[in-house]
Amino acid sequence: MKNTKVILACIIVGLFGILPLGLNVYQQHVMIVCLFYVMMSASWNLLAGYTGQVSFAHAAFAGIGAYTSGILAVKAGLSPWLGIPLGVLFAAVIGFGVGLLCLKMGGIYLSLTTLGVSEIFHIIINNEYEITRGTMGLQVPGLLVEYSKTGYFYIMLVTAIVSLLVIYWMIHSNIGLNFRAVQNDEKAAASLGVDVIRIRVLAFTVSSALAGLAGGVYGHYLLLITPEIPSLDQQFLVLSMTIIGGMGSFIGPIIGAFTLEILSEYIRGYGEYHVLVFGLIALSMARFAPNGVVGLVQAGWAKRSTS
Amino acid sequence: MLKGNGLCKNFGGVAALNDVDISLEKGSLIGLIGPNGAGKTTLFNAIAGAFSLSSGNLEFNGKSLNGKSANHICRLGIARTFQVPRPFAEMTCLENVLVPLVNRSRVGERTALLQEGREILDFVGLGNRDDILAKELNLVEKKRLEMARALCTNPQLLLLDEVLGGLNTQEIGAAVDLIVNLSEKRGIAVLWIEHVMGAIMGAAERIIVLDQGEKLMEGTPEEVAHDPRVIHAYLGA
Ligand SMILES: Nc1ncnc2c1ncn2[C@@H]1O[C@H](COP(=O)(O)OP(=O)(O)O)[C@@H](O)[C@H]1O
Ligand SMILES: [Mg+2]
Protein backbone atom coordinates (compact mmCIF):
# COMPACT_ATOMS: atom_id res chain seq x y z
CA MET A 1 0.00 0.00 0.00
CA LYS A 2 2.71 2.42 1.03
CA ASN A 3 4.84 1.47 -1.95
CA THR A 4 1.96 1.96 -4.38
CA LYS A 5 1.48 5.45 -2.98
CA VAL A 6 5.15 6.33 -3.40
CA ILE A 7 5.20 4.97 -6.96
CA LEU A 8 2.02 6.85 -7.81
CA ALA A 9 3.44 10.09 -6.41
CA CYS A 10 6.64 9.61 -8.43
CA ILE A 11 4.67 9.04 -11.63
CA ILE A 12 2.58 12.17 -11.05
CA VAL A 13 5.67 14.25 -10.29
CA GLY A 14 7.40 12.78 -13.36
CA LEU A 15 4.43 13.67 -15.56
CA PHE A 16 4.54 17.20 -14.19
CA GLY A 17 8.23 17.30 -14.98
CA ILE A 18 7.58 16.82 -18.69
CA LEU A 19 4.29 18.72 -18.70
CA PRO A 20 5.63 22.10 -20.00
CA LEU A 21 6.73 20.37 -23.22
CA GLY A 22 3.12 19.78 -24.19
CA LEU A 23 1.68 23.13 -23.11
CA ASN A 24 1.53 26.54 -24.72
CA VAL A 25 2.55 29.67 -22.84
CA TYR A 26 -0.96 30.41 -21.59
CA GLN A 27 -1.46 26.86 -20.36
CA GLN A 28 1.89 26.97 -18.63
CA HIS A 29 0.76 30.13 -16.86
CA VAL A 30 -2.41 28.40 -15.69
CA MET A 31 -0.34 25.50 -14.35
CA ILE A 32 1.90 27.89 -12.41
CA VAL A 33 -1.15 29.54 -10.87
CA CYS A 34 -2.54 26.08 -10.04
CA LEU A 35 0.65 25.22 -8.19
CA PHE A 36 0.45 28.49 -6.25
CA TYR A 37 -3.07 27.56 -5.13
CA VAL A 38 -1.98 24.02 -4.30
CA MET A 39 0.52 25.49 -1.85
CA MET A 40 -2.01 27.94 -0.45
CA SER A 41 -4.81 25.39 -0.01
CA ALA A 42 -2.59 22.64 1.36
CA SER A 43 -1.03 24.95 3.94
CA TRP A 44 -4.39 26.44 4.93
CA ASN A 45 -5.71 22.90 5.29
CA LEU A 46 -2.87 22.10 7.70
CA LEU A 47 -4.20 24.82 9.99
CA ALA A 48 -7.96 24.72 9.38
CA GLY A 49 -8.46 21.08 8.42
CA TYR A 50 -6.10 19.52 10.95
CA THR A 51 -6.26 21.78 14.00
CA GLY A 52 -9.68 23.34 13.37
CA GLN A 53 -8.39 26.92 13.43
CA VAL A 54 -10.30 28.43 10.51
CA SER A 55 -8.08 31.43 9.81
CA PHE A 56 -9.11 34.13 7.35
CA ALA A 57 -5.63 35.63 7.33
CA HIS A 58 -4.00 33.03 5.13
CA ALA A 59 -3.96 35.18 1.99
CA ALA A 60 -2.58 37.99 4.14
CA PHE A 61 0.39 35.75 5.02
CA ALA A 62 1.01 35.14 1.33
CA GLY A 63 1.01 38.94 1.07
CA ILE A 64 3.52 39.24 3.92
CA GLY A 65 5.86 36.86 2.11
CA ALA A 66 5.48 38.65 -1.21
CA TYR A 67 5.72 42.22 0.09
CA THR A 68 8.67 41.49 2.39
CA SER A 69 10.72 40.10 -0.44
CA GLY A 70 9.42 42.66 -2.95
CA ILE A 71 10.16 45.67 -0.77
CA LEU A 72 13.63 44.35 0.10
CA ALA A 73 14.34 43.93 -3.61
CA VAL A 74 13.06 47.36 -4.59
CA LYS A 75 14.36 49.40 -1.65
CA ALA A 76 17.55 47.51 -0.81
CA GLY A 77 18.32 45.75 -4.06
CA LEU A 78 18.24 42.38 -2.34
CA SER A 79 17.99 39.32 -4.58
CA PRO A 80 14.60 37.59 -4.40
CA TRP A 81 16.51 34.36 -3.76
CA LEU A 82 17.41 35.85 -0.36
CA GLY A 83 14.29 37.97 -0.03
CA ILE A 84 11.86 35.07 -0.27
CA PRO A 85 13.43 33.13 2.64
CA LEU A 86 13.33 36.34 4.68
CA GLY A 87 9.66 36.75 3.70
CA VAL A 88 9.01 33.19 4.85
CA LEU A 89 10.72 33.93 8.15
CA PHE A 90 8.73 37.13 8.64
CA ALA A 91 5.45 35.35 7.80
CA ALA A 92 6.40 32.66 10.33
CA VAL A 93 7.08 35.25 13.05
CA ILE A 94 3.80 37.08 12.43
CA GLY A 95 2.02 33.70 12.22
CA PHE A 96 3.48 32.80 15.59
CA GLY A 97 2.14 36.07 17.00
CA VAL A 98 -1.33 35.64 15.51
CA GLY A 99 -1.35 32.05 16.80
CA LEU A 100 -0.65 33.33 20.32
CA LEU A 101 -3.29 36.04 19.94
CA CYS A 102 -5.90 33.43 18.97
CA LEU A 103 -4.96 30.84 21.62
CA LYS A 104 -8.07 31.21 23.73
CA MET A 105 -10.35 31.42 20.73
CA GLY A 106 -12.09 28.92 18.56
CA GLY A 107 -14.77 28.84 15.90
CA ILE A 108 -16.21 32.09 14.69
CA TYR A 109 -14.22 34.26 17.14
CA LEU A 110 -10.94 33.05 15.74
CA SER A 111 -12.18 33.56 12.19
CA LEU A 112 -13.29 37.11 12.93
CA THR A 113 -10.05 37.97 14.69
CA THR A 114 -7.97 36.71 11.78
CA LEU A 115 -10.27 38.62 9.43
CA GLY A 116 -9.36 41.70 11.43
CA VAL A 117 -5.65 40.91 11.15
CA SER A 118 -6.07 40.59 7.40
CA GLU A 119 -7.85 43.98 7.23
CA ILE A 120 -5.09 45.66 9.25
CA PHE A 121 -2.60 44.33 6.75
CA HIS A 122 -4.69 45.78 3.92
CA ILE A 123 -4.88 49.18 5.52
CA ILE A 124 -1.11 49.21 5.93
CA ILE A 125 -0.53 48.34 2.26
CA ASN A 126 -2.95 50.98 1.06
CA ASN A 127 -1.69 53.74 3.36
CA GLU A 128 2.04 53.16 3.01
CA TYR A 129 1.89 54.08 -0.64
CA GLU A 130 5.52 55.27 -0.70
CA ILE A 131 6.73 51.81 0.16
CA THR A 132 4.08 49.48 -1.22
CA ARG A 133 2.76 51.49 -4.19
CA GLY A 134 -0.77 50.77 -2.90
CA THR A 135 -3.23 49.42 -5.41
CA MET A 136 -0.87 50.33 -8.25
CA GLY A 137 1.28 47.42 -7.25
CA LEU A 138 4.96 47.03 -6.59
CA GLN A 139 7.10 46.22 -9.60
CA VAL A 140 9.68 43.68 -8.56
CA PRO A 141 12.55 41.84 -10.23
CA GLY A 142 12.13 38.22 -11.25
CA LEU A 143 13.83 35.08 -10.03
CA LEU A 144 15.41 34.36 -13.40
CA VAL A 145 17.91 36.48 -15.31
CA GLU A 146 16.06 35.70 -18.50
CA TYR A 147 12.29 35.43 -18.24
CA SER A 148 11.04 31.95 -19.05
CA LYS A 149 7.61 30.49 -18.33
CA THR A 150 9.07 26.99 -18.34
CA GLY A 151 11.72 28.09 -15.86
CA TYR A 152 9.11 29.51 -13.51
CA PHE A 153 7.03 26.39 -13.91
CA TYR A 154 9.90 24.29 -12.58
CA ILE A 155 10.62 26.72 -9.74
CA MET A 156 6.96 26.64 -8.73
CA LEU A 157 6.84 22.86 -9.09
CA VAL A 158 9.85 22.32 -6.83
CA THR A 159 8.52 24.79 -4.25
CA ALA A 160 5.14 23.09 -4.26
CA ILE A 161 6.68 19.64 -3.87
CA VAL A 162 8.83 20.80 -0.96
CA SER A 163 5.78 22.37 0.72
CA LEU A 164 3.72 19.24 0.20
CA LEU A 165 6.49 17.03 1.57
CA VAL A 166 6.68 19.16 4.71
CA ILE A 167 2.90 18.97 5.12
CA TYR A 168 2.79 15.24 4.41
CA TRP A 169 5.51 14.55 6.92
CA MET A 170 3.77 16.67 9.55
CA ILE A 171 0.32 15.14 9.28
CA HIS A 172 1.74 11.62 9.39
CA SER A 173 3.99 12.28 12.37
CA ASN A 174 3.13 12.56 16.06
CA ILE A 175 2.60 16.27 15.44
CA GLY A 176 -0.25 15.52 13.03
CA LEU A 177 -1.81 13.16 15.55
CA ASN A 178 -1.69 15.93 18.13
CA PHE A 179 -3.15 18.39 15.60
CA ARG A 180 -6.16 16.15 15.16
CA ALA A 181 -6.50 15.49 18.88
CA VAL A 182 -6.60 19.25 19.51
CA GLN A 183 -9.15 19.72 16.74
CA ASN A 184 -11.38 16.95 18.13
CA ASP A 185 -11.31 18.00 21.78
CA GLU A 186 -8.83 20.44 23.25
CA LYS A 187 -9.65 19.74 26.89
CA ALA A 188 -9.39 15.98 26.48
CA ALA A 189 -6.13 16.41 24.56
CA ALA A 190 -4.64 18.54 27.34
CA SER A 191 -5.67 15.98 29.96
CA LEU A 192 -3.76 13.32 28.01
CA GLY A 193 -0.51 15.24 27.90
CA VAL A 194 -0.86 17.18 24.65
CA ASP A 195 0.74 20.62 24.90
CA VAL A 196 -2.23 22.39 23.32
CA ILE A 197 -0.61 25.83 23.27
CA ARG A 198 2.50 24.55 21.50
CA ILE A 199 0.47 22.55 18.98
CA ARG A 200 -1.86 25.41 18.06
CA VAL A 201 0.91 27.96 17.70
CA LEU A 202 3.07 25.52 15.77
CA ALA A 203 0.27 24.98 13.25
CA PHE A 204 -0.15 28.73 12.80
CA THR A 205 3.57 29.28 12.40
CA VAL A 206 4.19 26.54 9.84
CA SER A 207 1.04 27.25 7.88
CA SER A 208 1.85 30.97 7.71
CA ALA A 209 5.43 30.32 6.70
CA LEU A 210 4.28 28.10 3.83
CA ALA A 211 1.78 30.75 2.71
CA GLY A 212 4.61 33.29 2.82
CA LEU A 213 6.70 31.00 0.61
CA ALA A 214 3.87 30.57 -1.89
CA GLY A 215 3.21 34.32 -1.98
CA GLY A 216 6.87 35.21 -2.33
CA VAL A 217 7.56 32.91 -5.27
CA TYR A 218 4.27 33.86 -6.92
CA GLY A 219 4.93 37.59 -6.56
CA HIS A 220 8.34 37.30 -8.19
CA TYR A 221 6.79 35.30 -10.99
CA LEU A 222 4.11 37.91 -11.65
CA LEU A 223 6.78 40.67 -11.37
CA LEU A 224 4.05 42.84 -9.87
CA ILE A 225 2.95 42.52 -6.26
CA THR A 226 -0.52 43.97 -5.71
CA PRO A 227 -3.05 43.89 -2.85
CA GLU A 228 -4.73 41.19 -4.97
CA ILE A 229 -2.39 38.60 -3.42
CA PRO A 230 -3.49 39.20 0.20
CA SER A 231 -7.10 39.96 -0.78
CA LEU A 232 -10.21 38.44 0.76
CA ASP A 233 -11.21 37.22 -2.70
CA GLN A 234 -8.06 35.17 -2.68
CA GLN A 235 -8.79 33.97 0.86
CA PHE A 236 -12.25 32.73 -0.06
CA LEU A 237 -10.96 31.08 -3.21
CA VAL A 238 -8.40 29.12 -1.16
CA LEU A 239 -11.10 28.25 1.37
CA SER A 240 -13.42 27.04 -1.40
CA MET A 241 -10.68 24.96 -3.01
CA THR A 242 -9.90 23.25 0.29
CA ILE A 243 -13.50 22.59 1.29
CA ILE A 244 -14.60 21.39 -2.14
CA GLY A 245 -11.50 19.21 -2.55
CA GLY A 246 -11.74 17.80 0.94
CA MET A 247 -10.71 19.45 4.19
CA GLY A 248 -8.65 17.36 6.58
CA SER A 249 -7.22 15.11 3.89
CA PHE A 250 -3.81 15.46 2.28
CA ILE A 251 -4.95 15.08 -1.31
CA GLY A 252 -8.20 17.12 -1.05
CA PRO A 253 -6.77 20.64 -1.32
CA ILE A 254 -4.51 19.58 -4.20
CA ILE A 255 -7.48 18.32 -6.19
CA GLY A 256 -9.55 21.35 -5.21
CA ALA A 257 -6.84 23.80 -6.27
CA PHE A 258 -6.37 22.30 -9.75
CA THR A 259 -10.09 21.84 -10.39
CA LEU A 260 -11.18 25.30 -9.32
CA GLU A 261 -8.30 27.21 -10.89
CA ILE A 262 -8.79 25.48 -14.25
CA LEU A 263 -12.55 25.92 -14.00
CA SER A 264 -12.21 29.60 -13.18
CA GLU A 265 -10.16 30.07 -16.33
CA TYR A 266 -13.19 28.88 -18.29
CA ILE A 267 -15.72 30.86 -16.28
CA ARG A 268 -13.63 34.05 -16.36
CA GLY A 269 -15.10 34.91 -19.76
CA TYR A 270 -18.48 35.45 -18.09
CA GLY A 271 -17.19 38.04 -15.64
CA GLU A 272 -15.57 37.90 -12.23
CA TYR A 273 -18.26 35.91 -10.48
CA HIS A 274 -16.27 32.73 -10.08
CA VAL A 275 -15.30 33.36 -6.45
CA LEU A 276 -18.96 33.87 -5.59
CA VAL A 277 -20.00 30.70 -7.41
CA PHE A 278 -17.24 28.67 -5.78
CA GLY A 279 -18.12 30.14 -2.40
CA LEU A 280 -21.72 28.98 -2.79
CA ILE A 281 -20.63 25.52 -3.88
CA ALA A 282 -18.22 25.34 -0.93
CA LEU A 283 -21.00 26.40 1.45
CA SER A 284 -23.34 23.67 0.29
CA MET A 285 -20.49 21.14 0.30
CA ALA A 286 -19.62 22.11 3.88
CA ARG A 287 -23.26 21.43 4.78
CA PHE A 288 -23.93 18.25 2.81
CA ALA A 289 -20.52 16.73 2.03
CA PRO A 290 -18.12 18.04 4.71
CA ASN A 291 -15.31 15.79 3.48
CA GLY A 292 -15.42 17.24 -0.01
CA VAL A 293 -14.84 15.43 -3.27
CA VAL A 294 -12.30 13.15 -1.63
CA GLY A 295 -14.87 12.15 1.01
CA LEU A 296 -17.52 11.48 -1.65
CA VAL A 297 -15.15 9.29 -3.65
CA GLN A 298 -14.07 7.37 -0.54
CA ALA A 299 -17.69 6.83 0.48
CA GLY A 300 -18.47 5.61 -3.04
CA TRP A 301 -15.59 3.15 -2.91
CA ALA A 302 -16.55 1.90 0.53
CA LYS A 303 -20.09 1.27 -0.73
CA ARG A 304 -18.88 -0.61 -3.79
CA SER A 305 -16.54 -2.82 -1.81
CA THR A 306 -19.23 -3.77 0.71
CA SER A 307 -22.00 -4.44 -1.81
CA MET B 1 1.79 11.22 47.13
CA LEU B 2 -1.10 13.70 46.63
CA LYS B 3 -1.69 16.36 49.26
CA GLY B 4 -4.32 19.07 49.09
CA ASN B 5 -4.83 21.70 51.77
CA GLY B 6 -7.66 24.19 52.09
CA LEU B 7 -8.87 23.73 48.51
CA CYS B 8 -11.45 26.32 47.50
CA LYS B 9 -13.11 26.94 44.17
CA ASN B 10 -15.82 29.52 43.54
CA PHE B 11 -17.96 29.86 40.44
CA GLY B 12 -19.41 33.34 40.71
CA GLY B 13 -21.22 33.19 44.05
CA VAL B 14 -21.24 29.39 44.29
CA ALA B 15 -18.57 27.77 46.46
CA ALA B 16 -18.16 24.47 44.59
CA LEU B 17 -15.24 23.56 46.88
CA ASN B 18 -14.87 25.00 50.33
CA ASP B 19 -11.74 24.35 52.39
CA VAL B 20 -11.29 20.72 51.38
CA ASP B 21 -8.25 18.74 52.57
CA ILE B 22 -7.20 15.56 50.86
CA SER B 23 -4.29 13.16 51.18
CA LEU B 24 -3.60 10.02 49.15
CA GLU B 25 -0.97 7.31 49.53
CA LYS B 26 0.71 5.41 46.72
CA GLY B 27 -1.37 2.50 45.45
CA SER B 28 -4.43 3.32 47.56
CA LEU B 29 -7.99 2.99 46.31
CA ILE B 30 -10.14 5.80 47.65
CA GLY B 31 -13.80 6.39 46.93
CA LEU B 32 -15.24 9.88 46.57
CA ILE B 33 -18.98 10.14 47.08
CA GLY B 34 -21.59 12.81 47.70
CA PRO B 35 -24.92 14.01 46.36
CA ASN B 36 -25.19 15.65 42.93
CA GLY B 37 -23.53 19.04 42.83
CA ALA B 38 -21.38 18.27 45.89
CA GLY B 39 -18.22 19.35 44.07
CA LYS B 40 -16.70 15.94 43.25
CA THR B 41 -16.04 16.66 39.58
CA THR B 42 -14.83 20.12 40.51
CA LEU B 43 -12.22 18.54 42.79
CA PHE B 44 -11.03 16.38 39.88
CA ASN B 45 -10.84 19.38 37.59
CA ALA B 46 -8.77 21.23 40.17
CA ILE B 47 -6.35 18.32 40.70
CA ALA B 48 -6.00 17.70 36.95
CA GLY B 49 -5.40 21.38 36.19
CA ALA B 50 -8.50 21.91 34.06
CA PHE B 51 -8.86 25.20 35.96
CA SER B 52 -7.02 26.93 38.76
CA LEU B 53 -8.11 26.96 42.40
CA SER B 54 -9.56 30.05 44.04
CA SER B 55 -7.28 29.25 46.97
CA GLY B 56 -5.48 26.33 48.57
CA ASN B 57 -2.45 24.20 47.83
CA LEU B 58 -2.02 21.01 45.86
CA GLU B 59 1.12 18.92 45.94
CA PHE B 60 2.03 15.75 44.07
CA ASN B 61 5.17 13.82 45.03
CA GLY B 62 6.43 16.96 46.72
CA LYS B 63 5.89 19.17 43.66
CA SER B 64 3.35 21.97 43.72
CA LEU B 65 0.55 21.63 41.18
CA ASN B 66 -0.69 25.19 41.63
CA GLY B 67 -0.91 27.03 38.34
CA LYS B 68 0.34 24.05 36.32
CA SER B 69 -1.38 23.33 33.01
CA ALA B 70 -3.41 20.16 32.47
CA ASN B 71 -0.85 18.62 30.11
CA HIS B 72 1.96 19.29 32.54
CA ILE B 73 0.05 17.63 35.37
CA CYS B 74 -0.65 14.65 33.14
CA ARG B 75 3.06 14.27 32.49
CA LEU B 76 3.73 14.37 36.22
CA GLY B 77 1.67 11.18 36.48
CA ILE B 78 -1.95 12.16 37.10
CA ALA B 79 -4.58 10.93 34.64
CA ARG B 80 -8.32 11.50 34.69
CA THR B 81 -11.45 10.32 32.93
CA PHE B 82 -14.36 12.64 32.18
CA GLN B 83 -17.79 12.04 33.68
CA VAL B 84 -19.28 12.74 30.26
CA PRO B 85 -16.87 10.96 27.90
CA ARG B 86 -14.84 13.21 25.61
CA PRO B 87 -13.44 10.88 22.94
CA PHE B 88 -11.64 12.21 19.88
CA ALA B 89 -14.79 11.52 17.87
CA GLU B 90 -13.34 11.61 14.35
CA MET B 91 -10.39 9.42 15.23
CA THR B 92 -10.25 5.64 15.54
CA CYS B 93 -10.05 3.95 18.94
CA LEU B 94 -6.44 3.07 18.28
CA GLU B 95 -5.61 6.66 17.35
CA ASN B 96 -7.40 7.79 20.51
CA VAL B 97 -5.05 5.77 22.71
CA LEU B 98 -2.05 6.62 20.53
CA VAL B 99 -2.39 10.29 21.50
CA PRO B 100 -1.43 9.77 25.17
CA LEU B 101 1.17 7.18 24.15
CA VAL B 102 3.11 9.56 21.91
CA ASN B 103 2.96 12.34 24.49
CA ARG B 104 4.48 10.37 27.35
CA SER B 105 7.85 11.57 28.51
CA ARG B 106 9.67 8.60 26.99
CA VAL B 107 8.38 7.78 23.53
CA GLY B 108 9.40 4.69 21.59
CA GLU B 109 8.89 3.33 18.10
CA ARG B 110 5.49 3.84 16.51
CA THR B 111 5.02 0.10 15.96
CA ALA B 112 5.74 -0.67 19.61
CA LEU B 113 3.31 2.04 20.69
CA LEU B 114 0.61 0.68 18.38
CA GLN B 115 1.14 -2.73 19.93
CA GLU B 116 0.85 -1.28 23.43
CA GLY B 117 -2.26 0.63 22.39
CA ARG B 118 -3.92 -2.54 21.09
CA GLU B 119 -3.10 -4.34 24.32
CA ILE B 120 -4.65 -1.62 26.46
CA LEU B 121 -7.78 -1.52 24.27
CA ASP B 122 -7.96 -5.26 24.75
CA PHE B 123 -7.48 -4.87 28.50
CA VAL B 124 -10.53 -2.58 28.82
CA GLY B 125 -12.63 -4.78 26.54
CA LEU B 126 -12.37 -2.84 23.28
CA GLY B 127 -10.15 -5.44 21.66
CA ASN B 128 -12.11 -5.71 18.42
CA ARG B 129 -12.76 -1.98 18.04
CA ASP B 130 -9.28 -0.73 17.07
CA ASP B 131 -10.22 0.75 13.72
CA ILE B 132 -13.71 1.99 14.58
CA LEU B 133 -14.20 5.76 14.81
CA ALA B 134 -14.75 6.75 18.43
CA LYS B 135 -18.03 8.46 17.54
CA GLU B 136 -19.45 5.06 16.54
CA LEU B 137 -19.06 3.68 20.08
CA ASN B 138 -21.96 3.41 22.50
CA LEU B 139 -21.82 5.10 25.90
CA VAL B 140 -20.41 2.11 27.75
CA GLU B 141 -17.68 1.67 25.14
CA LYS B 142 -16.89 5.37 25.26
CA LYS B 143 -16.36 5.08 29.01
CA ARG B 144 -14.00 2.19 28.42
CA LEU B 145 -12.10 4.27 25.90
CA GLU B 146 -11.79 7.04 28.51
CA MET B 147 -10.22 4.52 30.85
CA ALA B 148 -7.91 3.12 28.16
CA ARG B 149 -6.64 6.57 27.22
CA ALA B 150 -6.04 7.50 30.83
CA LEU B 151 -4.07 4.29 31.40
CA CYS B 152 -1.95 5.04 28.33
CA THR B 153 -0.51 8.10 30.05
CA ASN B 154 1.18 5.69 32.45
CA PRO B 155 -0.29 7.31 35.57
CA GLN B 156 0.70 7.00 39.21
CA LEU B 157 -2.64 8.47 40.18
CA LEU B 158 -5.86 7.79 38.29
CA LEU B 159 -8.96 9.94 38.76
CA LEU B 160 -12.08 8.04 37.70
CA ASP B 161 -15.31 10.01 37.36
CA GLU B 162 -18.39 7.75 37.40
CA VAL B 163 -17.14 5.04 35.11
CA LEU B 164 -19.84 2.52 36.05
CA GLY B 165 -22.88 4.52 34.95
CA GLY B 166 -24.95 2.64 32.38
CA LEU B 167 -23.31 -0.74 33.01
CA ASN B 168 -25.30 -3.85 33.92
CA THR B 169 -24.54 -5.93 37.03
CA GLN B 170 -22.19 -8.28 35.24
CA GLU B 171 -20.28 -5.47 33.55
CA ILE B 172 -20.02 -3.64 36.87
CA GLY B 173 -18.38 -6.70 38.40
CA ALA B 174 -15.82 -6.87 35.60
CA ALA B 175 -15.09 -3.13 35.76
CA VAL B 176 -14.61 -3.22 39.54
CA ASP B 177 -12.20 -6.13 39.22
CA LEU B 178 -10.28 -4.16 36.64
CA ILE B 179 -10.03 -1.11 38.89
CA VAL B 180 -9.02 -3.11 41.97
CA ASN B 181 -6.44 -4.86 39.83
CA LEU B 182 -4.96 -1.49 38.80
CA SER B 183 -4.36 -0.45 42.36
CA GLU B 184 -3.29 -3.82 43.75
CA LYS B 185 -1.17 -5.20 40.91
CA ARG B 186 0.11 -2.08 39.21
CA GLY B 187 0.40 0.10 42.28
CA ILE B 188 -1.65 2.90 40.72
CA ALA B 189 -3.41 5.10 43.25
CA VAL B 190 -7.07 5.50 42.33
CA LEU B 191 -9.43 8.26 43.40
CA TRP B 192 -12.82 7.11 42.31
CA ILE B 193 -16.12 9.01 42.10
CA GLU B 194 -19.09 6.67 41.89
CA HIS B 195 -22.83 6.67 42.36
CA VAL B 196 -23.10 2.91 42.32
CA MET B 197 -22.75 2.57 46.08
CA GLY B 198 -22.54 -1.20 46.33
CA ALA B 199 -19.58 -1.31 43.99
CA ILE B 200 -17.53 1.46 45.54
CA MET B 201 -18.27 0.48 49.15
CA GLY B 202 -17.04 -3.03 48.42
CA ALA B 203 -13.85 -2.04 46.66
CA ALA B 204 -12.51 1.13 48.27
CA GLU B 205 -10.21 1.14 51.29
CA ARG B 206 -11.46 4.50 52.43
CA ILE B 207 -14.28 6.80 51.38
CA ILE B 208 -14.33 10.58 51.29
CA VAL B 209 -17.75 12.19 51.45
CA LEU B 210 -18.31 15.63 49.97
CA ASP B 211 -21.44 17.68 50.49
CA GLN B 212 -22.10 21.18 49.18
CA GLY B 213 -18.43 21.76 48.54
CA GLU B 214 -17.29 20.66 51.98
CA LYS B 215 -15.68 17.49 53.19
CA LEU B 216 -18.33 15.90 55.35
CA MET B 217 -16.20 13.02 56.55
CA GLU B 218 -13.60 10.46 55.62
CA GLY B 219 -13.44 6.87 56.82
CA THR B 220 -13.73 3.20 56.04
CA PRO B 221 -16.77 2.17 53.98
CA GLU B 222 -18.19 0.70 57.20
CA GLU B 223 -17.88 3.97 59.13
CA VAL B 224 -19.27 6.01 56.25
CA ALA B 225 -22.28 3.79 55.72
CA HIS B 226 -23.34 4.17 59.33
CA ASP B 227 -22.59 7.84 59.83
CA PRO B 228 -25.76 9.84 60.52
CA ARG B 229 -24.36 12.92 58.73
CA VAL B 230 -23.89 10.93 55.53
CA ILE B 231 -27.33 9.38 55.75
CA HIS B 232 -28.72 12.86 56.32
CA ALA B 233 -26.87 14.35 53.35
CA TYR B 234 -28.15 11.65 51.04
CA LEU B 235 -31.70 11.44 52.28
CA GLY B 236 -32.21 15.12 52.93
CA ALA B 237 -33.82 16.65 56.03
N1 LIG C 1 -17.50 25.19 35.05
C2 LIG C 1 -18.44 25.52 35.97
N3 LIG C 1 -18.98 26.77 35.96
C4 LIG C 1 -19.89 27.12 36.86
N5 LIG C 1 -20.35 26.33 37.84
C6 LIG C 1 -19.86 25.08 37.93
C7 LIG C 1 -18.87 24.61 36.97
N8 LIG C 1 -18.57 23.33 37.29
C9 LIG C 1 -19.31 23.02 38.36
N10 LIG C 1 -20.09 24.07 38.76
C11 LIG C 1 -20.99 24.09 39.91
O12 LIG C 1 -20.27 23.61 41.02
C13 LIG C 1 -21.07 22.75 41.80
C14 LIG C 1 -20.42 21.40 41.92
O15 LIG C 1 -20.48 20.72 40.68
P16 LIG C 1 -19.75 19.33 40.38
O17 LIG C 1 -18.37 19.39 40.88
O18 LIG C 1 -19.94 19.01 38.96
O19 LIG C 1 -20.63 18.33 41.28
P20 LIG C 1 -20.61 16.75 41.34
O21 LIG C 1 -19.59 16.24 40.39
O22 LIG C 1 -20.29 16.45 42.76
O23 LIG C 1 -22.00 16.31 40.99
C24 LIG C 1 -22.44 22.70 41.14
O25 LIG C 1 -23.26 23.65 41.80
C26 LIG C 1 -22.16 23.13 39.73
O27 LIG C 1 -23.29 23.78 39.18
MG1 LIG D 1 -19.76 15.07 38.74
Between B237 and A233, the more confident residue is A233
**For residue A92, what pLDDT band results from cuts at 50, 70 and 90?**
very high
From B11, B17, B159, B200, the mutation candidate for ligand 1 (largest count of ligand atoms within 8 A of CB) is: B11
Q: Measured in whole angstroms, how far is the alpha carbon of residue A31 from the centre of its chain?
A: 15
Burial string for B12-24 (b: 16+ CB within 10 Å, else e) reads eeebbbbebebeb
Q: What tens digit of pLDDT does each residue of A114-127 get? A: 999 999 998 898 88
Nearest CA to ligand 1 atom 21: B41
Ligand 1 atom closest to the Cα of residue B9 is: 12
pTM score:
0.90
Signed CA dihedral, A281, A286, A288, A292: sign only: positive
Q: Does domain A2-306 sit in CATH 1.10.3470? A: yes
Give the pLDDT of residue A183: 95
Q: How far is A246 from chain B (nearest CA, A)?
A: 15
Give the pLDDT of residue B150: 95
- Please check the confidence at residue A140 and state whether its pLDDT lies above 90: no
Between A297 and A218, the more confident residue is A218
Compare CB distances from B71 to A180, A184, A190 and report the shortest one's residue.
A190
CB A142, CB A219: distance < 8 Å: no
Mean of pLDDT values over B125-148: 92
Q: From the candidates B45, B69, B71, which should be mutated to test the interface with A, based on the most A CB atoms within 10 A? A: B71
Residue A53 and residue B100: Cα distance in Å, rounded? Answer: 22
Mean of pLDDT values over B210-224: 89
User: Which residue in A144, A123, A120, A15 sits closest to A57, CA to CA?
Assistant: A120
Give the pLDDT of residue A168: 96
Residue B124 and residue B131: Cα distance in Å, rounded? Answer: 15
Ligand 1 atom closest to the Cα of residue B39 is: 17
Which residues' Cβ are closer than 6 Å to ligand 1?
Answer: B 11, 14, 16, 34, 36-42
Mean of pLDDT values over B210-234: 86
